[in-house]
Amino acid sequence: MKRFLLLLVLSLVMVGCGKKPEDKPQPASSTPYGSPQDVSAYFQAIDPLVQQLNGLHQELYQKVGSSGKATGANLAPAMAQGKPQLQQVLAQLEKTTPPPLLAPFHEQLKKLVLLRLDAYGLTAEGWKQEQAKTPQFENQYNRGEAKLAEAQQLGGQLGAERERIQQVLAQAQAPPQAAPR
């Protein structure tokens, strides 16, 4: 019995001396955004959506034409055509689960799409009001323009953040270098 108690006490002491989970070092291949595999998989999932957003944005500016002047007549139809695509991008983003540490980035990306959807709706409404000769149509256009400007600014911020994340990811995935002698 003493021998059994001695073995039990020794095993408990050995278990108690182990490292706590929070003491475990992070694997060398981790990033501040999650594992390189998770981060890469996330960006592979959203890259086609981001490309679609950028394509829609370019198409919209092409509709302005050589005059360089955006009007309800040239933007409202383009926005009406692009709106279902924006809704589809938003639906896909809703289905995509980012790594937990990239959740704020993901929410901001969804916000960008929502801003554009709002701008498209405001512009379409402004065009309807302009055609009906309603005096408030300029207000709708101004609000839509402000939403587009906000989306543009947010897009720039997200692009810069994406670049930082990609740099960190590349560093984490780089083969370790030998220590100098």
Instruction: Write the DSSP symbol of residue 31.
Output: B
Residue 97 has phi, psi (to 5 degrees) of -105, 115
Confidence bin at 24 (pLDDT 50/70/90): very low
Confidence (pTM): 0.78
Q: For 116-171, how does the pLDDT look when each residue is reduced to its tens digit (9 = 90+)?
A: 999 999 999 999 999 999 988 999 999 999 999 999 999 999 999 999 999 999 98
Report which of 107, 104, 79, 81 is spatially closest to residue 93, judged by C-alpha positions.
Answer: 107
Q: For 83-111, how does the pLDDT look when each residue is reduced to its tens digit (9 = 90+)?
A: 999 999 999 999 999 999 999 999 999 99
Angle between helices 137-173 and 103-131 (to 10 degrees): 160
35: left (phi over 0), alpha (psi -120 to 50) or beta: beta
Instruction: Write the DSSP symbol of residue 110.
Output: H
Instruction: Find the mean pLDDT for residues 30-49.
Output: 94
- CA 165, CA 105: separation in Å to the nearest integer? 10
* Domain extents in the chain: 31-173
Q: What is the pLDDT of residue 8?
A: 31
Helix (H) or strand (E) holding 138: helix 137-173
Residue 10 reports pLDDT greater than 70? no
SS3 34: strand
Q: What is the pLDDT of residue 141?
A: 92
